[in-house]
Amino acid sequence: MRVVAQRVSKATVTVEGKQVANIGAGVLLLLGIETSDTAEDIAWLVHKIANLRIFNDDKGVMNLSLLTTKGEAIVVSQFTLHASTKKGNRPSYIKAAKPDISQPLYVEFVHQLEQVLGKKVGKGVFGADMKVSLLNEGPVTILIDSKNRE
């Protein structure tokens, strides 16, 4: 499971001209799910994201987490995070999980993040053509991979 976590001042997701998610300060999470992902990947990643110290304290040092700032979150499913560009110029998505596997994991990821944060989390529309808008704060953009826990 891969996540691109972006610290934002605000973010929105629009589908077919209708805004489906809107947050202020917090994180926009682009979530890529692969076939081998499990509940363990979800639990590890949710804990990591909720406690990741990427928000500034009163001294301007990134020392606060989403939990401590009571920030908001949007989760957008993005299978292209598992693109392989090893051969040729057309990315291969063979490692990305098919919807019958990835959609339930996406729903569970959002549910667990809501439980940990104690609030609703914004969502994209799984499988839809989404327009994602954000004001990246910092900018702070971090890639986290549950299979490569560095």
Query: Which is catalytic among the residues 6, 14, 79, 109?
Result: 79
The residue behind tokens 């805004």 is 19
Nearest CA-CA partner of 13 in 141, 124, 126: 124
Q: Is residue 118 part of a domain?
A: yes
Q: Is residue 54 part of a domain?
A: yes
How many angstroms separate the CA atoms of 93 and 64, rounded? Answer: 35
In Å, how far are 6, 41, 44, 145 from 28, measured between CA atoms?
5, 19, 18, 16
Q: Which domain holds residue 25?
A: 2-145
Q: For position 59, which CATH number holds?
A: 3.50.80.10
Overall number of domains in the chain: 1
Catalytic residue status for 80: yes
- pLDDT level of residue 149 (50, 70, 90 thresholds): confident
Query: Which is catalytic among the residues 80, 85, 103, 109?
Result: 80
pLDDT in tens, 62-89: 999 999 999 999 999 999 898 888 888 9
Query: Which is catalytic among the residues 55, 78, 109, 112?
Result: 78
**Which residues pair with residue 135 across a beta bridge?**
10
pLDDT in tens, 37-68: 999 999 999 999 999 999 999 999 999 999 99
Cα torsion 58, 45, 135, 16 to 10°: value is: -150
Q: Is residue 150 part of a domain?
A: no
Catalytic residue status for 79: yes
Q: Is residue 90 part of a domain?
A: yes
Q: Is residue 96 part of a domain?
A: yes
CA torsion through residues 64, 66, 70, 71, sign: positive
Nearest CA-CA partner of 3 in 69, 66, 68, 90: 66
Backbone φ and ψ for 114, nearest 5 degrees, come out as -60, -40
Tell me the whole-structure pTM to 2 decimals.
0.94
